[in-house]
Structures are given as structure tokens and as C-alpha cells.
Structure 1
Amino acid sequence: MRYPFKRAQSTRIVTSFTTIPSVAVIFFACILVLVTPMPVQAQNTVAINIPSQPLSDALLQLGQQTSLQILYTPDLVRELNTSGLQGNYTPENALRQLLKGTGIEYERQGNTVTLKRISAVTLPPLTVSTASLKQGTAEEGYRVSNISGIGLWGERSLRDTPYSMSVVPSDLIENVNAQNMGQIFKMNPLTQEPNIQNHNSVPFVTIRGFQSENPVYDGIPLADGNGSVISVIEIDRVEILSGTSGFLYGGGRVGGAINYVTKGPTDIPLRRLTFGNYGGTQFYGHADIGGKFDERGRFGYRANLLYQGGDTAIGEPVNQKVANIVLDGQITDTLYADVKYTYNDYRKEATQSLFNSVIERTGIDTSKRYSPKWASNNVESHKAYTSLRWDPSKYFTLRSAFFYQHTNMRVSRIFLNQQADGTFTQRLNNTADETHENYGGYIYLDTQFKTFDIGHKLTLGYSSTFYEYFLSNDCCINQNGTSSLSLNELKNIPEPNWGSIGNDPKLPVWINRFNNILIGDNIIFNERWSAMVGLNYATTVNKAFRLFGDNDYEKSALTPTVSLLYKPIEEVTTYVSYMEALETGTRVGNTYANHGEILPPLVSKQYEVGAKYDINPNLLLSTALFRIEKANQYSDLATPIPSYVQDGLQVHNGVELVLTGKITDNLTIMGGGTLMDISVEKSNNPALEGKKPTNAASRMGKIYAEYALPWITGLSLTGGIYYTGERYADAVNTDKIPSYTLYDIGARYTTRVLDKALTVRLNVINLTGKNYWQNATYLGVPRTVAFSVSTMF
């Protein structure tokens, strides 16, 4: 293989905005970008000067004049010539011009392209994978053009999707040294920073003021987030839907849905090692290996392996092992299939205590640990996925997928209640050897046809997801801790004698199920007007046994959606949409007096108007106005033990703005914000009328930026400012969670050592050491320094 290259002319972009004092400036900056004329060449164009010569020499010069690394065999270009190329081109367009008429095509992975002979057989479009969707690189400003699919709608343009969405690609996850997805959601302007559950690593993300607890994996929704484990190393991209998703994914997810798109095989060989530190003494090693088994590229593989060990920034010992294996194949010209498996073994000691009630929130230091070493989590998870796509003709496509996850956990936790004198009482909880099982799957049939001049893509489908929770009769113990203690004394709480806990056989205690029968039609009237309409006959089933009582219910509802899209010009899409969602009534947890009770199911409604504008190919601006109506659920704060109840209507009106991509050749931003007017209406309790729903920030403003220093090749500075407004921890709005602004800074340097690409990343999270609350129960992340070194081998 030949490797024409020079040291990468990195356009990765990062800047620090630590001097900007206010969220208002963030909104002003976004608006200023919209009205400021963009440079015509804000697409990474470079000056190309290649004379007429043999193609092999021309490719060598192209590699020297751009950031491309071009791989090919000498036989491929032998006796081929080029007439040369002069002018300003993007690197990829320059390569395309040189290869025109040669019978050679290329595949791209980041800045590396592989040349190959054009095949005589053209295969049909494959199911979405990392290879087919590899967008959102740092060089492209993390801008993604297509989404992998949303509900029964298949792969489509992000700009022409009539929902408010944001996509976080794997390049950004890696470049901020994210230990888990909490760091990513903290940065995203559509989401509040979530707490990462102590007993697993799936965030409970708040979007549009509502918590989205149940994740979606590769388009397959889960019935319950408990027991679900996700690692950043298996994620290729995160597709964030802001807004009600009932028609798309069935029950729940009133505020939005999080689709974790997992990694797939690469079209070109990938061999990458990363060594780093997530903060404190948490060192880790990560290997990412991918490629094709055969010369035709029909069968591929991908493996991601992680080992992590050490203490967090507040002294919590962590040990984690992850193995992610993927195989795929174009079995015939019309049939594609893949198989994915992930093993995760996560162990954590001295996990931070949870706060049930707090009188004074400003006196707690997030850089300290308030827990003894015996408070711990042990989680072992197995996940398996498979998907299939069959294209028997150009008119029909069959898509199907299946997911299974089995998780075992053992969790010991401490819940704190602050007293009037500032001390804390404790409730000690031990759940021994609990098991969670999640199943999910779908089957969709697409057909394309026309009625007169109106085009249709009609999809019929069925999806189902099932969750089952297993415990033994002697599984769970709650004990009162030592008498009231100060925060500094909490580390000394002795471990209780739990006795012979968890010796009885495990039996099911909780079942959730959602079934969806769907029909949707993507209608194209002409090049400017289109519509997306659909119906979902959604069914929610819930059953509880033993310690959760003995009750069950089943409810079905027809949840429709309709969206109308209009494109005044090619670069702009506007839309109006309406959607409903059937939601399971909340299962009341064991911290409430009515634990085990199931609140009634309910139907929520959302109205949305939005617009998306491609300012340039690597810069997308989107905005949306919305209204959501949902039944209100809250803690009544009764003493000594509160109850969890359903009363009144939660109404959220708001506006969102998101800007993602390259402002200039050297500057990338991901920014925007959310403003909402939220309140409780139609409550039977007059004290709740007009109050703010719990844990819902009505204001957010965030911006992350990268700036590539033009005078130091390969060096980028990074930084972010993230503002979250005040929220309330209780329904009557007496316990206020203060607003906060967080600052991150960092740097990234890319070079070559011994002819191998080398990337060094450094990130400081919560630069000022701000004390803050992620929500009413969880403390924020302390100042943390993370770094990594990645190299190819």
C-alpha cells in the first residue's frame, strides 16, 4: 500500500469562552451567526496545484497539499494519468476530480480514504451502519446530515425530519474524553445534565422539562431503563429527539427520546489504541479494531475492548471491563444482516449518598464524598442485537431487528435527610442480586408507489418491548443508620449486618410491556410540499407481584401523528406537527408510603412548529416552538413518609434553538438553548395551581466551541459554557435548586509519530469547581481533569 501524506493540516476547532459571563450572550451569538453573511468558502477548501502527470504522482501531491491519507495498491493506478488540477477545492472534491474517468472509487473513514476498482455489481442500499453513516467528524464540525431512522421512518435527512433533533457523533464523545453520556447531555442545548444512576450507567435525561428514562438502542425502544447499561465505547452516535415520541416508539418518553446508535464494521481497516484517565486515578485502555473479512467487502467486523480501574475524583474506587463485538454481512445482493454483542462488568465502591430531603442546598461541597466504602454497586450486563434488511425489489423493503439484555445487580445505598440543626439522618438500603431482563424488536415493511403525481412511501409495522424484574423474597433490607450525623461523619457509618440476604430463589416482581401496531405514510406532493402521517395503536401492560403488591392493568389507545413540511428554498425546511403518546402510570418507588402502587396510565399531547436551515454544508441551524400537555405526578411531601400522587395537568410551552457545525474553517460550535413557560394547571389542590413542575429548568443556554490554531498545525483549543436555570425539588415550590453555570476547557493535538497518527486530548471539566445539583437527589460533578492518547497500529 502507498501512503501519500503530510502532517495533517487539522481543521479541528476549539475555543475557550470563559470570558463570556451570561447566557444572554450565548443566545445573542447564535442569532448573530444567523444574520451574518457566511464566507463562501467556509467548507475547508484549500489551494490545489497539481500539474499533468501520472496518477500515482498526482495522488502523492494531493496527500501533501491536503489532510487526506490515500491508501491504494500500485497495480490499481499503474499506467493511469491525470490532466492535473488547479484551484480551490475541498480535499474530497479534489480527489473526486482526479479520479474522474479512471474507473476507481474510494471509501472514506475520517481523513483516510481507500481506493478500489469500481465494482461491476452495484449492491442495494444497506441497513444503516457506521460505514454508511460516518458523518459528524471533527473536520466536518460534528455536523450530521442523515439520521439512522426514527420510529418506523427509515434513514432520512436530518434537515427534512419534522421533529426537533440533535445528533452527537462518536468523534465528539471521544474528543471531550467523556467517561459516560452525562458529559454529552450536559453539553447539549436540548437536554438538562442528567444524573448517572449509581447502579447503572444509563442517564435519566430531562428534555423539555420531562424525564426520559427508557433508552432506545439502534431504533429499538426499551420498556424500562432499569437494568440497562450503556458504555461510551460501543456508541457511534446519539440521536436526541426533543419532544413527544408516542407514535414513534410507543409508551412513555413524553419530553423526548434518546436513540443510542451502536458501532458497526468499518469499510477500511481500523486499528486504534487509546490510553487515558477519566479523572482522579481512573486509568483506562481502549482498543478499537474493525475492517472487512473479504476482498469484495461483503463481510465485516468490529471489536471494542475497554479496561478501567482506579478512583474517581471524589475517591470512589471503580473497576470496569467492556467487550463489544460486531459482525455483519451482505449475504446476497438483496439481503443484509448483522449481529452485535456487548458484555459490561461494572463495580463501584463508596458510591456517593443520595439526598432525599435538603434544607440548605448551598452548603454542600461536590468535591467531597459523603459515603462509607461499603456503599457499592456491582453490575454485570449482557446485550445482544441483530438486524436484517431485505430488498426484494425497488418497490419493497423489509426491515427487522431484535434486542435482548440480561443484567444482574447488587446495590447498597444510603439515603440522607437533613434536619433543622443541619445534621443528616440516614436510611440504609441493600438490594441483593436483582435481575433485569429487557426484550425488544420490530418488523417494518416499506413500499413505494405513486397516486397520480403524488409519491408515497407507505410503512406497515409492529414493534414490541418487554421488561421483567426479578427479586428474591429476602432481597431487600432497609435499616435506619446511626443517629444524626454531620456531612463529615457520614464516611464512618458502619455497615449493618444484612444477614442471609438474597438466599431465596428469584421470582418476577414487576413486568412492563408495550406493543405497537403502526402505519405511516411519507407523502411527497412536489419538491416543496410533503407530509408525514401515521397511526399507532399502542398498548401498555403492567403487572406487579409480591413486595410490589398484586395488581396489573392493560390499556390501549390510538395515538396519531401528522406533520406538514414546506421548503421555501432548497436549504430551508419548515414544518408543523402534532403527536400523542400513551404513557404508563408511574410505579411508586420504595421511598414512598404508597410504594408498589401504580398510577393510572395517561395520554399526552404535543404541538410543534419548527424550521431548519443549512447555512452551509457543515452548519445547521434549527429552531422549534412547542406545547406539551401531560398529567402531573409528584411527591406530596407528607411526613414522616411522603406519597407519590397524580393530580392536575402539566403544561410546557417553549422555544428551542440549536446551531451545530463550522462557523469558519477554524471555528466549530455546538450551541443554543431552551426557554420555557411551565406550570401546573387544573389541579384539585389549589396550592399547586400555577406552580412549576419538579426538576424542570425553564431556561438553558449552552455553547461548546473548538478553534484550530492556524499557526500551530494540528493543535485545537476547546471550551464550553453551560447554563441551567433554577428548578424546584418539590411540588409546592419551596425547595429551590439553584441555577448554575459550568465551564470546561481543553486542548487537542494531532500529529504523526513513526508514520502513525497520534492524538493527545486534555479536558478540564467544571473548571471553577462549581458546587451544584444535577437534580434534587444527586450532587453535581466536581472539577475533573481527564486526558487520553490515541494512536493507530
Structure 2
Amino acid sequence: MQLIFAGGLLIAAGGSTDTRAQTTAAPATEQIQAVTTRRYDIPAGPLNTVLTRFSTESGIFLVGANDLAQGKNSPGVQGSFSIQGALDVLLTGTGLETQRNAQGQYVLQPVANTVGTLPLMTVSTSADTLKQGTAEEGYRVSNISGIGLWGERSLRDTPYSMSVVTSDLIENVNAQDMGQIFKMNPLTQEPNIQNVTGVPIVTIRGFQSINPVYDGIPMASSAGSAVSVIEIDRVEILSGTSGFLYGGGRVGGAINYVTKNSTDVPLRRLTFGNYGGTQFYGHADIGGKFDERGRFGYRANLLYQGGDTAIGEPVNQKVANIVLDSHITDTLYADIKYTYNDYRKEATQPSFFMVNRTSIDTSKRYSPKWASSDIESHKAYTSLRWDPTKYFTLRSASFYQHTNMRTDSISLNETGNRTFTPSLFNETNNKHENYGGYIYLDTRFSTFAVDHKLTLGYSSAFYEYFVQENGVVVRSGEKDLPLNKLKNIPEPDWGIFGNKPMLPSYVDRYDNILIGDSVTFNDRWSAMVGLNYGTTSNKLSNIYGNSHYEKSALTPTVSLLYKPIEEITTYISYMEALEKGLIVGNTYANRGAVFPPLVSKQYEVGLKYDINPNLLLSTALFRIEKANQYSDLAMPIPTYVRDGLQVHNGVELVLTGKITDNLTIMGGGTLMDISVEKSNNPALEGKKPANAASRMGKIYAEYALPWIEGLSLTGGVYYTGEKYADAANTDKIPSYTLYDIGARYTTRVLDKALTVRLNIINLTGKNYWQNPYYLGVPRTVAFSASMMF
């Protein structure tokens, strides 16, 4: 038998667990180490990877057959354990165990009643059961993929309010886009996504989260950043100020779209379905490993969609998502991902201004077919992780997206007696480019009895918008049109653009130099402290004028965590967010003045409780203070000033997981007291900020019928409180409650897994407004069937 040492893991090649050839006795230090507890924070992942990291951190040799661990996943281990206790946790559900031999070494072997079973690499029916957040686990996850520079860590031991939506839930509710998911989530308001890019601008804690995050890489702008549900493995929703973590913006929270990776077992799945109306689609999801050792993996997701929405908007979409990843060595991982998205939607609903909100019916289409959005997007990602020793980890990633777009749209102003005057817009041949990346170095060390994970890093995000010369055209339409005539508006003559050059017109950039220390004092007390020296810059040219802005600021964070028992984590945290100021325009007395960045502050107290392994309760109290910029309205020439605060106080609660073996819920609510505390207009003081609902209460549930195996009933109730369309609070957007129902049936056909899903969205056909300008989603019936092959 040949023994191979790799990254602290001693593997017996050839499958034998016979250790008679090993004659070296365990030293006394190893015997002491075996009964001593220490703290581990190793996230879930491939068993070989988890065992390698555990072996490195614990300093032990683990003897066992490589093929036993191959293709299996581990839940990881978090908390203080002896070596044997930690091994028992990280081997949970793998069918493996460890025994100490006569020499004191730990030997990996099958559990007695599973000897002779095939390794999971041969299973091809349900690769998804090996990942976290499945329907069987109540969509509950134990670890987050990373949050800013902190990297992978336990969700329960993260001192921020968070909610994670997994691909299983996205598939099981037949979500066509992320709007459905944010509608269901108790931390987020339902966003409008029917126009332009398909990337939601999500309102969290009363503030818009404008810039998305992809695989932990912050973007400088959402413009041109198309996203498809088929490329998403999970969505990590951070509720609260996140300037330290991701740089500029994101006062209310951040949305991290975590994309798919290869599967540890072969995955072959076809899905055919309908997103509503005649929008039929086909989706293929294929993944696995190229080699028997499982070092080189792949994943391909392909989608074709065509037809009309429930209100007759023609949609055509083609998406291809390709992933290649590799554990190049036991300590080095790298991947590369590419997504192509070609999307066209015609007759997109108009935006409404100054409208009688009771006169609009969401079940009707109001735009002509020429009002459309065309998007062609190319995205490329790459990431690398290197763990040369147990003391150092290097993490890096980069992102590039190129998007070409054409948008023809209509906005409507009500002129009285339910008639409207349209404004017609055309943006032809505009181009968007997004760049992003980070590099972080983690170091682990101890000072006396205190453990540290110190991280140094740099992240950057850059966005540039190009538009063809004279490529933005506005036309006025016929006045006083009734609602039933709007979709007959003829397309205007936009003019001839020819081959005029594409001009850079708008640039946003954020750079961050970061340092953070995750400190563990003992089993109960820990802390996370950090500083981000952030720089925000903006450049306008061509159609936007000519100006340049660049300023820097230091944004700190500090969190203190206390665990009264292993299942509960309490925390107090403080964080700041950076936003760019502005260059004062020529109409003010202080024209040309360059304001420093706005720094918003957040205070938060929270608790997270693992009621059981598949049920997590989270709650948080928070206060956000955001600085204001405004005109002082002085005569004869006003001055633009920075003064006053917009204050949001609130409480959140989220419950995710399985209440019983048959009942799964994802629910909770947000309750806020929000106001503008100082304004240039005293009449606005104490008013609520626009488009911010003070109350939300939402619950989604699934019940597996015990008397019909494989059948689950699903449904949700989603309440969003009233909000205002204007700063003066004179235009109230009514509250609304939406209802969804559905069913899911899982069985086997020809020895292959088959899942059939049916969902009715907005069951009662409620007329409502997603925000001040856009209508809500009409009643929609969606269904799908997925089968392994």
C-alpha cells in the first residue's frame, strides 16, 4: 500500500485501510491534542477539500482511501470540538467515520452498515441533494459564500442581518426573474424589473441598493448588468449598510448573486415549462467532473424562451452559462465562468407620472409593440483560492461584462379625466461596460489565547457608459389620449443615426483598500473589526456635460458577538457607508464646489438562533443615519448645502427552514420608523422618504402531504405597506397584499427523477403598484417539468 501525503492529509492509495505497515507511534503531544478542544470554522464543501483543510488546521494525519471521500460533500464544522468530535460533525451524512488505530492515527472508513455501497460519484439521479439549501433541508443554509473581505463563514455567526435564497427555491416557484424572489423575501420590497436590464434595483431598509454584487465582486453600476435565474446558485441578501464590505453606495443593503459551479456527481437535467401566457421555455442543466479524482469540473446551463407574457408582451431570450473549475492541487482552486444573454421584450409597460392610481388595470397592456428593450450581454468571471499553509489563504476574483442595448420606451403624464400625454424615448446603440475585482490575503495567528484571522485586501469596480452621438432622442406624442388608445401610438421617426462613433459619456469608479480582523477570544466571545479607505469617482462628458469628481474617506466597522449557548449568536455592530458627493452646478452661489463623500452610519443589534439544524430564526434592531444634500432656496441665488439627516429606525425578523418534517416556511417582516429630520423646506421635515414602505410582512410555505408521497402544496402571502411617491407625501401609494398558490410533485419515471411544478402568481389579480412609476405583476400561471436523464 502506498501512502500519499497531500496538504496534511495522509491518504492510503489503492483503497486499503490496513495500517499494519505503519509503525510509528503517536507522540504524546498528539494524544493530548486528541482530547483538547479548539475552535473550527470550516464551511461546507467537497469532502476531500474539507478534510484537507481540517487536517491542516488540526495538525493531524488522517489515513484512508481516497475513493471513499471522492464525490462526497461535507457539512463542514463550526464551533469548539475535540478532534474526534469535529471529525464526527464534518463526516455527518457521508456514510463514513474515523477510528483510531493502535498507532494513534485516525483512519477513514465506511460506517459498518454502509460497507459495499457505491461512492456517490456513480449516482446520477439527484446531484442537488448534495448541496445546501435544498427543499429537503427547508431551503436553510449553514454557511455564506463570503461577505466582503470576510470570506466564507457560518451564517449564524455573521453579525449582519442576512437572508439566503437558493436555486432550489428559485426553481420551485417557477421564478422567471428575481422580481418574484424579492417579492417573497421579508427583507426586500418588490422591485420593478420589466424595463431595460432585468437587474432589480432592490429597496432594503428604505434605501435603494443600486449596485449588484456578483460572486462577492462589487459592481459600480447596475446599468447593463443583465442577470438570468438559470446562472444563479444562490442570492445572499445583506440587509443594512455595507460600505465597509463592498465600497461606495449600498446604504440599505447589498445583493450578492452567487453563480453556479460544477457538481460533485454527474448532473443531467432537462426542464420544460411556461412562465405565463405563451412564454414556453426549455432549460438544460448539465454538470459533473471530467476525471475520476474529481479535480476538474464543468457546468453548463442553456435556456431558450419565447412567446407572450400574460398581458401579451412578446419575449425572446437565449442564455448560455458555462463553468469550468479545477482543484489544481490540494491547496489551489481556480475557475472560469462565461454567460451570454440575448434578451428582447416588446410592448413593455410604460412608466406613469402624475396618475390617478385607481384607474390602471395590471391585467392589461398599455404600450405598442415598438416599445421594447434589446439586450445582448457577455459576462466573464474568474476566481482563484490558494491555501499554501494553515496560516495563509490568498483569494482573488475578477469580472467583466460588456452589454449592447437599445431601448424604446414611453412615459405617460395624466392630463385629467383619465387621459394621458405620452413622451417617447429612444436610446440607440448604447454600450455598457462593467469591470470588478478583488484580492484578499488571510493570515491566521494567535496572541496568547486569542485567535486572529487578519485580512488585507483591495477591491475595485468600474463602470463606463457609451452612447452614439445624438443617440438619445425624445419625441412628444399626441395629447390627451385615453387608456385604450395608448397601445396604438405609432412609432415616431427617430432620425438616421448611421455609423456615428460611440462616445464615452458617464464613468463611475470605486476603489477600496481594506483591513479586517476576525478575533476569537473564546467559545463565547468574538469580534470583527475593520477599516476601508474608499475612493469614489465620477466623470461626465458629452450629453451629460463635462465634470469630474474624486474623493476619499475612511469607513470603519466593528462588531462584537456573544454566544450564550452553541445554538444562539447575539451581536452588536456598527458600520459606515460611502456615497459620492457632487460638484455643485452653475445655478448656485457656490458653483463648482466639490462636496466630500457622504458617509452614512448604521447601528445594529441582532440575534440568530438555530432552533433545529434546518430552522434558523434571525432578528435585528437597527438605526441608519444618512446625510442630506439640498438647495437652501436663498434669494436671489441659492446655495447648495449639506445638512440634516434622513433617519431609519426599524426591526426585522426572518424565519427560514423546516418547522416539522413536512412543513417548510420562509417568512418574517420589517417594521420601520423612517423620516427626514431636516430639510431646506421645513414643511418636509418629519415626512417619509419616497418609495419606502414602513411595514412588510411575508410568508411562503410548503407542506408535504404525508398521505401522498412526493406531493407538496405551496403558497405565500406577501404584504407591503403604503409608501409615498413624492417628498411632500401628497401622493400615497396604497398598501397591497398578494397571494400565490402552487403544488409540486416528485416521482420516478423509467427510474429517473421527475419533478412537476405549478404556480399561480397574484392569485386574486390584485391591481397594485411596484413603485411610484410602474404597475405590478398581473395574475400569472406558470408550470414546469424537470427530469433527470
TM-score, L = length of structure 1? 0.82
Counterpart-to-counterpart distance in 2, 1:557 and 1:673 = 34
Percent identity of equivalent pairs: 79
Q: Is structure 2 residue 263 aligned with structure 1 residue 266?
A: yes
Q: What is the match of residue 587 of structure 2?
A: none
Cα 1:94–1:612, aligned 2, differ >3 Å: closer, same or farther? closer
After superposing the two structures, state which structure 1 stretch, 195-204 or 213-222, moved more: 195-204
Separation (CA, whole Å) in 2 of partners of 1:311 and 1:598:
49
The 1-side partners of 2:433 and 2:788 are apart by 37
Q: Is the 8 A contact 1:346 1:379 kept in 2?
A: yes
Pick the aligned partner of 1:338 from 332, 335, 339: 335
Pairing 1:98-497 to 2, within 5 Å after superposition = 103-104=109-110, 114-115=119-120, 134-358=131-355, 360-497=356-493
Shift of 1:333: 2.3
Task: Give the corresponding residue for 2:782.
Answer: 786
What CA distance in whole angstroms lies between the structure 1 residues aligned with 2:593 and 2:140?
Answer: 45
List alignment gaps of at least 5 residues for structure 1.
1-71, 77-89, 107-111, 118-129, 589-595, 637-643
In structure 2, C-alpha distance between the alignment counterparts of 1:155 and 1:533, rounded to whole Å: 16
Change (3 A) 1:511 1:435: same
Conserved in 2, the CA contact under 8 Å of 1:474 and 1:503? no
* Alignment CA distance shift 1:647-1:609 (3 Å): same
AA partner of residue 292 (structure 2): E
Preserved CA contact (<8 Å) 1:131 1:265? no
- Say if 1:706 and 1:633 are closer, same or farther in 2 by CA, change over 3 A: farther
Q: Which residue of 1 aligns with 2:95?
A: 96
**Contact 2:186/2:668 (8 A) holds in 1:** yes
Structure 2 counterpart SS, 1:419? strand
1:357 offset after TM fit, Å?
Answer: 2.4
Aligned to 1:690: 686
1:736-772 Cα shifts (integer Å, max 9, x gaps): 0000000000000000001110000000000000000
Partner of 1:730: 726
Q: CA–CA distance in 2 between the matches of 1:276 and 1:768?
A: 22
Distance in 2 between residues matched to 1:230 and 1:576, nearest whole Å: 34
Q: Distance in 2 between matches of 1:599 and 1:791?
A: 57
User: C-alpha separation between the residues in 2 aligned to 1:477 and 1:289?
Assistant: 44
Q: Supply the distance in 2 between the matched residues of 1:501 and 1:390 (Cα, whole angstroms).
A: 50
CA distance in 2, matches of 1:587, 1:611: 42
Query: What one-letter code is carried by the residue in structure 2 that aligns with 1:746?
Result: G
CA contact (8 A) 1:405 1:437 kept: yes
Q: Structure 1 582/105 Cα, relative in aligned 2: closer, same or farther at 3 Å?
A: farther
Higher relative contact order, structure no. (Cα contacts within 8 Å, ≥ 6 residues apart): 1
- Structure-2 separation of matches of 1:536 and 1:98: 44
Between the aligned partners of 2:597 and 2:108, the Cα distance in structure 1 is: 63
The question of 1:659 aligning with 2:658 is answered no
Residues 524-544 of structure 1: CA deviation (Å, up to 9, x unaligned): 001000000000000000000
1:212 and 1:527 map into 2 onto residues whose CA distance is 35
Match of residue 774 from structure 1: 770
For structure 2, which runs of at least 5 residues remain unmatched after alignment?
1-66, 72-88, 100-106, 585-591, 633-639
C-alpha separation in 2, matches of 1:412 and 1:221:
29
Q: Does 1:614 align with 2:610?
A: yes
The SS at the match of 1:447 is strand
Any idea what SS the aligned residue of 2:170 has?
Answer: helix
The alpha-carbon deviation at position 587 of structure 1 amounts to 11
Equivalence for 2:749: 753
1:659 shift after superposition: 0.3
Three-state SS of the structure 1 residue aligned to 2:416 is: coil
Pairwise CA distance, 1:487: 1.1
Quick check: 1:476–1:501 contact (8 Å CA) kept in 2?
no
CA shift in 2, pair 1:466/1:486, >3 Å: same
Between the aligned partners of 1:316 and 1:790, the Cα distance in structure 2 is 26
Instruction: State the secondary structure of the residue aligned to 1:774.
Output: coil
- For residues 345-404 of structure 1, what are the alpha-carbon distances to aligned partners after superposition, in whole Å with 9 as ceiling and x for unaligned? 00011111111322x111210011110111011100000000001111110010000000
Distance 2:746 2:594 in 1: 54
Task: Name the structure 1 match of 2:635.
Answer: none
Partner Cα distance (1:787, 1:312) in 2: 14
Label 1:604 to 1:502 Cα distance change in 2 as closer, same or farther (>3 A). farther
- Aligned residue number for residue 711 of structure 2: 715
Q: Deviations over 1:540-591 (max 9, x none)?
A: 0000001101001101000000000000010000000000011124899xxx
How far residue 233 of structure 1 moved from its aligned partner, in angstroms, is 0.1
Are the aligned partners of 2:630 and 2:680 in contact in 1 as well (CA < 8 Å)?
no
Match of 1:627 in 2: 623
Which amino acid counterpart does residue 394 of structure 1 have in structure 2? K
How far residue 503 of structure 1 moved from its aligned partner, in angstroms, is 3.4
Instruction: Work out whether residues 634 and 694 of structure 1, in 8 Å CA contact, stay in contact via their aligned partners in 2.
Output: no
Structure 2 partner of 1:539: 535
Change (3 A) 1:566 1:545: same
Give the partner amino acid of 1:196.
Answer: I
Residue matched to 2:740: 744
5 Å-filtered alignment, 1:496-515, equals: 496-501=492-497, 503-515=499-511
- Is the Cα contact below 8 Å between 1:474 and 1:502 reproduced in 2? no
User: Once the 2 structures are TM-superposed, how far is the Cα of residue 649 of structure 1 from its aligned partner?
Assistant: 2.0
> What's 1:528 paired with?
524
Task: Specify whether residues 321 and 351 from structure 1 end up closer, same or farther in structure 2 by C-alpha distance, changes over 3 A only.
Answer: same
**Which residue matches 2:560?**
564
- The CA deviation at 1:468 is 0.3
Shift of 1:116: 6.6
| Separation (CA, whole Å) in 1 of partners of 2:297 and 2:559 | 38
Alpha-carbon distance in 2 for matches of 1:396, 1:99: 27
- Using the TM superposition, give the Cα deviation of residue 332 of structure 1 relative to its aligned residue in structure 2, in angstroms: 1.9
What is the TM-score of this pair, normalised by structure 2?
A: 0.82
* 1:67 match: none
Structure 1 residue 473 displacement after superposition? 1.4
Number of residue pairs the alignment of both structures matches:
676
Check 1:445–1:363 CA distance in 2 against 1; reply closer, same or farther (3 A cut): same
Secondary structure class of the residue paired with 1:103? strand
Letter matched to residue 660 of structure 1 = T
Q: 1:671 aligns with which of 667, 674, 685?
A: 667
Give the conservation status (yes or no) of the 8 Å contact 2:602–2:623: yes
CA contact (8 A) 1:635 1:730 kept: no
Q: How far apart, CA to CA, are the structure 1 residues paired with 2:392 and 2:681?
A: 54
1:331 deviates by: 1.3
- Separation (CA, whole Å) in 1 of partners of 2:259 and 2:654: 24
CA distance in 2, matches of 1:724, 1:292: 45
Change (3 A) 1:554 1:502: farther
Does the C-alpha gap of structure 1 residues 317 and 599 become closer, same or farther in structure 2, counting only changes over 3 Å?
A: farther
* Partner Cα distance (1:272, 1:634) in 2: 55
Shift of 1:598: 10
Whether the 8 Å contact between 1:197 and 1:203 is mirrored in structure 2 is no
d(CA) in 2 for partners of 1:437, 1:133: 36
